[in-house]
Chain A
Amino acid sequence: MSLIPPAYAKHLDERRALVGIMVIAALALLIPTAVRLVAFDGMPPGGTSYYSMRMAGHLLTAADPSWDPLSYQGRPYIYNPYHFLLAGIAPVANPGIISLMLPPLLGIVAAFLFLVLLRRLGIELETRFVVSLLLILSPLFISVFTQSTRMPLLVVLMLGAASLYLSERQALRFLGISLFALIPLFGLVHTIAFLLLLIVHHFANRDRLPCFLSALAIVVAGGALYQFSLVSYVGLSGHSPFAGQNLLSSIVSDLGSEAGFGVFNMLLALIGIVIIWRKKRQYRLFYILLLALVAVALLFGREAHLYLAFVFAFLGGVAFVTLAGRNWEAGLIRNLTLGIIVCGVLFSPVSYLNRTSTMPPTPEMADALAWLGRNAEPDSVVLSHYSRGHWVTYFAGLPVVMDSNVAYAPQAAERYADSAGIFSSRSLETTRALLDRWYVDYIFIDPEMKHGLVWRKDDEGLLFLFRNNETFKNVYENHDVQVWQMLRG
């Protein structure tokens, strides 16, 4: 696929491109890791990392691994290949260090595989290099490969399997198809997204029909089997209680999204769309794919954004190479424009790196929860903001009312509504009734909750009711991290 005549980058060759991409990926991913090691006692950022660590331990030690006794006060465990990987490595190394180091390492591998995949797709070296750069410098890529979740493993699996599938050697192709069978284990959204990619690729190239049909059959069969098993095991997943959040803020990294796109990346992608529009007949399948992935992202939320990141990186790369290779009338404007684009593209990841390096949990929060775990009764239930749920279960080892893992969670919508009611109500009677409904024994509060996440003022809602020392007792306080005990007389 050659869209643009090569115009520059005489010094770029395959080896330099590969080394450059991997070095830049390493820098982008290991800088926040280094900051976490030094300033946060090596604690990984985000909530899901702790869920992964806990479940890896759970798989190794629990008598009944199919039941998670802590999340949502007890629920069936949905098996996750990544947890098995962590559990496998756990006997060899510290789980915290693995959770911190493994995602960036997988990110470097993913960067390598992506470059290889683009070569297999016939994309020119210059475009490949720029596309890969845009991908690894996107906030979404950094977000995925700095948190210990299943996503890094999934991306490496997909890229590796796709690279093998596109190989000229039949044995490698069949190995790739075999690996496709693992994709349904990561969830419905990824199965659907992968099928879209597979189908569009086949219709764009129309070769190797048996391979395509085999791959299709494996993924569809695997996906159907997995989903059927899941529904039999845990039932249908309820509606997410987090729907309706501001769309722009949830997709644009510069507007606060934790896993979003940079503004300049999106702008370049838009220019890329305009550029390849000239050959719209030839690329109509690509446009269909783009629209389909946007629809998937709108339906399934954050997890599907990842696929758009690859597409945006490709489009952005096309745009940048076209702009750079163009015959500019004014050299000064050319240099300024390209410089600004580079600065703009770098702005988002730098800004994001700064945020992700200092993301909670903090050592103070970990200490508070560890204290709670040592001093509370084993089955005590803890209430906090749902985004804190995984930290509570990991550090304190106690059941929580709610965490951020809402898929197939029991009564997720009710728990969310009741939590919001507890936090906002100034009526002791109402709050007590809601707390009793979920058997809450402790309430965990951190500074972020007090300064915007839940409350804005010191006497808002539950914070006001804490003055009642017949119902609530402050059992722990450290740097604005508090643990309150619910007194039942």
Chain B
Amino acid sequence: MAKSPQARIRKEHLLLALIFLLTLAIRLSFAFQTPYLSTDESYLVLRQADGVRESLVPSFQDPFSYGGRSLVYKPLFSYLLGLLGLISDSVLLQKAFVNVLASLLVFPVYLIARELTKSENAALFAGFIGSFIPLYVARTTNALSVYALLAPVLLTLLYLYLLIMKDEKASTWPVTWFLLLFLVAVLSHSSAVILVLGLLFYMVLVRTERLTLKGSEVELIIFSAFFFLWIEFLIFKKAFLFHGPLVIWQNLPPALLSGFFAQVDVLGAVLAIGAIPFVAGIYIIYKYVFRQRRKEFHLMIGVVLAIAFLLWLRLIELDVGLLFLGCMLAVLFAEAYRLVFAYLAKTKISRYRPLIITLVLLIFVLNSVFPSISFAAQELAHVPADEDIAAFAWLRENTPENAIVLVPYTQGHALTYFARRKSVADGNFLLVEDPGAILHDIDLLYTTTLVTKAVEVADMRGIDYVLLSQEAIRTYNTTALPAADPACFVPVYEHEDIVYEARCSLEER
């Protein structure tokens, strides 16, 4: 007896909900293992959210970072977390919220895949794959990452664009929602450029293939481009004037540039995205660029080309590019699934279809789910050490409020969050003059054996305390400050971490 349409629909929805809940459960099981966060940047977001909670508006003045300075950033994400903080300031709640956001990716991936393939099974598989992109899971499970919001929003925007593309009746609701969500994306992070550039590449592809572009599509693309540019210049005006074009690379010191904006390594990309979506997605791109013409796939390929273009020119971080590439390839996997099973249906082994599906699922679990879990577990190792947290707490209780504390720049935000003291440097380099020189001085102070040199650096940077944290011990391969001196760098806290007080300064001639 054939099942009723309502029963079929409920089954797909149930499966989708199950994928969402499974994803969320796995994420939360990792996230709740520790009260701390894996990335230093998360602590900056936390502080910004705390600021919103206290004053209900985002603050663009930071009294702690680099000893006190202006900030330039897109406030929407920290604003949302801040509003959440009105309910409770628990970090675990905020982690849960971020993981819920990240898990929502399954829905737009499913919807886009269903729109492209008209196959519920293919769409469900794509949704499942989209939930377990290893890099995406790693970056968003135990961190307050804006990509947890941006990825689902960008994919939803693509879905809405697909609806607008196919809508003969010119309904207004997809356009309205597109505009609203686009505003959310643009106010969240500059990586929204992926969508804008993707639409422009799509337009070029369509024109090249002599396909028709609807008027509403052209209008949306023009609007998106102008709006994105305008918001970028409005928010980053000060940074553009300060740094010029270097804003695009976030004013990263040259020593760090090659790490963040690295060349793509194919093996690394496969591991980060997952082997199955990678291979399947590449095949579908090849098919719809060289063999077949379908506007919907040109849209997806346009976005993939945009990501590749930005990665090639090193205009976005490698991790960010691979993250979004993974999302797009997960969507394209649905078409590969449909094609493979459509082919198998014509063969004798079609009677083994359930077995084949199980096999594919197993391969996927091995190639994507397990690596995702492994990546997430590895991220947990990056949380601040308990010894460092204890040292931060001591600093908060025992040092003056306007004290400047030296830690490796990779712990700058954690210091300002836990210790509520000024840092010498952190990972946010926008509006910072000559960050390379600052990082050089930090390295110097942790490594020099010359007391006068260390005092000179401490004097110049206004450093009151030097924290030899577990991070510093690992980075500089030392168990004590080389320039430690009974008169000038006095240990005032000695446990696994050591806090030195800088008591000397250079005399004037």
Cβ proximity bits A448-469 to B, threshold 8 Å, 1 near / 0 not: 0000100011010000000110
Interface string of B428-453 (1 = CB under 8 A from A): 00000110010000000000000000
Interface residues of A in 255-270 (CB under 8 A from B): 255-256, 263-264, 267
Tell whether, in the assembled complex, residue B230 and residue A264 are in contact, meaning their CB atoms are under 8 Å apart. Answer: yes
A355 to B219, CA, bound (A): 34
B172, chain A: closest CB distance, angstroms: 8
Contact of B241 among A256, A267, A323, A344 (CB under 8 A): A256
Q: Does B478 contact A (CB under 8 A)?
A: no
The complex places the Cα of A401 from the Cα of B471 at a distance, in Å, of 51
* Nearest CB on B from A57, distance (A): 35
User: For chain B residues 195-253, which have a beta carbon within 8 Å of chain A?
Assistant: 214-216, 219-220, 222-223, 226-227, 229-230, 233-234, 237, 240-241, 244-245
Considering only CB atoms, which chain B residue lies closest to A452 in the complex?
B433
B175 at the interface (CB under 8 A from A): yes
A489 to nearest B CB, angstroms?
A: 18
Report the Cα distance A256→B179, complex, angstroms: 31
A347/B227 in contact, CB under 8 A: no
Q: How many A-B residue pairs have CB under 8 A?
A: 84
> CB distance A344 to B230 under 8 Å?
yes
A340 touches B240 (CB 8 A): no
Q: Which residues of A contact B223 (CB under 8 A)?
A: 333, 336-337, 340
Report chain B residues within 8 Å CB of A343. Answer: 230
- At the interface, yes or no: B170 with Cβ under 8 Å from chain A? yes
* B237 and A254 contact, CB distance less than 8 A: yes
Scan residues 326-354 of chain A and give those whose CB is less than 8 A from a CB of chain B: 327-330, 332-334, 336-337, 340-341, 343-344, 347, 351
A468 to B509 CA separation, bound complex (whole angstroms)? 8
User: Given A248-B244, A344-B226: A330 and B216 within 8 A (CB)?
Assistant: yes
B265 at the interface (CB under 8 A from A): no
Does A459 lie within 8 Å of B460, measured CB to CB? yes
Can you list 20 contacts pairing A with B, beta carbon distance less than 8 Å?
A246-B245, A248-B244, A254-B237, A255-B240, A256-B240, A256-B244, A264-B230, A329-B219, A332-B175, A333-B175, A333-B216, A333-B219, A333-B223, A336-B223, A343-B230, A347-B230, A351-B237, A355-B241, A457-B437, A467-B509
* A249 in contact (CB, < 8 A): yes
Across the interface, A456 reaches (CB within 8 A) one of B170, B234, B434, namely B434
Choice from A249, A323, A332, A456 contacting B179 with Cβ under 8 Å: A332
Q: Given contacts A333-B223, A337-B219, A459-B460, list 17 more A-B pairs with CB under 8 A.
A: A246-B244, A264-B230, A323-B222, A327-B215, A328-B215, A330-B219, A332-B172, A333-B216, A333-B220, A334-B219, A337-B226, A340-B223, A341-B226, A344-B230, A347-B234, A355-B241, A452-B433
The residues of B that contact A340 with a CB separation of less than 8 Å are: 223, 226-227, 230
Q: Is B229's CB under 8 angstroms from A264's CB?
A: yes
A332 to B241, CA, bound (A): 33
Residues B230 and A329 in contact, CB atoms below 8 Å apart: no
Instruction: State in angstroms the CA–CA spacing of A376 and B234 once bound together.
Output: 47
- Determine the distance from Cα of A110 to Cα of B219 in the docked complex, in whole angstroms: 36
Bound state CA distance, A420 and B34, in angstroms? 54
Tell me the bound Cα distance from A346 to B216 in angstroms.
Answer: 26
Find chain A residues with CB under 8 A from B226 CB.
Answer: 264, 267, 337, 340-341, 344
B508 on the A face (CB < 8 A):
yes
- The answer to whether A248 and B229 have CB atoms under 8 Å apart is no
Chain A residue at minimum C-beta to C-beta distance from B220:
A333
A-side interface mostly: helix
Q: Report the separation of the CA atoms of residues A332 and B178 in the bound assembly, to the nearest whole angstrom.
A: 12
Known A-B contacts A248-B244, A249-B245, A336-B223; A344 and B233 likewise in contact (beta carbons under 8 Å): yes
Q: Which residues of A contact B (CB under 8 A)?
A: 246, 248-249, 254-256, 263-264, 267, 323, 327-330, 332-334, 336-337, 340-341, 343-344, 347, 351, 355, 452, 456-457, 459, 467-468
Q: Give the Cβ gap from B91 to chain A, nearest Cβ, in Å.
A: 37
Complex-state Cα separation, A6 to B358, whole angstroms: 64
What residues of chain B lie closer than 8 Å to A459, measured between beta carbons? Answer: 460
State A250–B223 Cα separation when bound (angstroms): 28
**Measured between C-beta atoms, what is the minimum distance from B247 to chain A in Å?**
8
Hey, which chain B residues are within 8 Å of A347, CB to CB?
230, 233-234, 237
Q: Chain A residues near B240: list those with CB within 8 A.
A: 254-256
Task: Please give, as numbers and ranges, the residues of chain A lying within 8 Å of B433 by CB-CB distance.
Answer: 452, 456
Q: Tell which of B170, B216, B245 touches A248, judged by Cβ atoms closer than 8 Å.
A: B245
A457–B227 Cα distance when bound, in Å, is: 39
Which listed residue (A337, A456, A468) contacts B222, Cβ 8 A? A337
Distance between Cα atoms of A256 and B233 in the complex (Å): 12
Given contacts A248-B244, A347-B233, contact A329 B170 (CB under 8 A): yes
How distant is the Cα of A452 from the Cα of B176 in the complex, in angstroms? 46
Q: Which residues in chain B, 156-171, are within 8 Å of chain A measured between CB atoms?
A: 170
Residue of B nearest to A467 (CB): B509
Q: Which residues of A contact B508 (CB under 8 A)?
A: 467
Partner of A249, one of B230, B234, B237, B244: B244
B214 contact set on A, CB distance < 8 A: 329
Check if B222 sits within 8 Å of A457, measured CB to CB. Answer: no
State the CA gap A329–B240 with chains docked (Å). 35
Most buried by A among B176, B219, B460, B509: B219
- State how many angstroms separate the Cβ of B236 from the closest Cβ of chain A: 10
| A246 and B240 alpha carbons, distance in the complex (Å) | 13
* A330-B175 in contact (CB<8A): yes
Residues of chain B within 8 A (CB-CB) of A355 are: 241
- Closest chain-B Cβ to A236's Cβ sits at a distance in Å of 33
Known contacts A336-B227, A456-B434, A467-B509; decide if A329 and B215 are in contact (CB<8 Å).
Answer: yes
Closest B residue, CB atoms, query A458: B460
CA distance A456 to B172 in the complex (A): 54
Would B241 and A255 count as touching, CB distance under 8 A?
yes
How far, in Å, is A153 (CB) from chain B's closest CB? 30
Nearest chain A CB to B31 CB, angstrom units: 39
Q: Are B179 and A336 in contact (CB under 8 A)?
A: yes
Partner of B219, one of A328, A457, A467: A328
Task: Report the Cα distance A459→B216, complex, angstroms.
Answer: 60
Contact assessment for A267 and B229 in the assembled complex, using a CB-CB cutoff below 8 Å: yes
Q: How far is the CB of A449 from chain B (nearest CB, A)?
A: 14
On chain A, the residues within 8 Å of B220 by CB distance are 330, 333
Cβ of B191 to closest chain A Cβ, rounded Å = 20
Distance in Å from the Cβ of B424 to the closest Cβ of chain A?
Answer: 14
User: What are the residues of chain A within 8 A of B176 when measuring CB–CB?
Assistant: 332
5 closest A-B pairs by beta carbon, nearest first, are: A249-B244, A329-B215, A329-B216, A337-B223, A344-B230
Q: B residues within 8 A CB of A337?
A: 219, 222-223, 226-227
Question: Which residues of B are found within 8 Å of A327, using beta-carbon distances?
Answer: 215
Q: Give Cα A456 to B227, complex, Å.
A: 36
Of B220, B223, B434, the most chain A CB neighbours within 10 A belong to: B223
Query: What residues on B are CB-neighbors of A256 within 8 Å?
Result: 240-241, 244
Q: How far is the CB of B114 from chain A (nearest CB, A)?
A: 25
Contacts of B222 in A (CB 8 A): 323, 337
Which chain B positions have C-beta within 8 A of A255?
Answer: 240-241, 244-245
B residues less than 8 Å from A468 (CB atoms): 509
Q: Which residues of B contact A341 (CB under 8 A)?
A: 226
A456 and B179 CA atoms in complex are apart in Å by: 44
Q: Which residue of A lies closest to B247 (CB)?
A: A255
- Distance in angstroms between the alpha carbons of A457 and B509 in the assembled complex: 18
Query: Nearest A residue to B230 by beta-carbon distance?
Result: A344
B215 near A254 with CB under 8 A, answer no
- Chain A residues contacting B175 (CB-CB under 8 Å) are 330, 332-333
Residues of A within 8 A of B179 (CB): 332-333, 336
Once bound together, how far apart are the Cα atoms of A336 and B222, in whole Å? 11
A333 CA to B164 CA, complexed, in Å: 13
Nearest chain A CB to B446's CB is how many angstroms away? Answer: 20
A337 to B225, CA, bound (A): 9
CA distance A254 to B227 in the complex (A): 16
Cα distance A178–B214 in the bound complex, in angstroms: 55
**Smallest CB separation, B400 vs chain A (Å):** 23
CB distance from A366 to the nearest CB of B (A): 25
User: Shortest Cβ distance from A452 into chain B, in angstroms?
Assistant: 7
Q: How far is the CB of B437 from chain A (nearest CB, A)?
A: 8
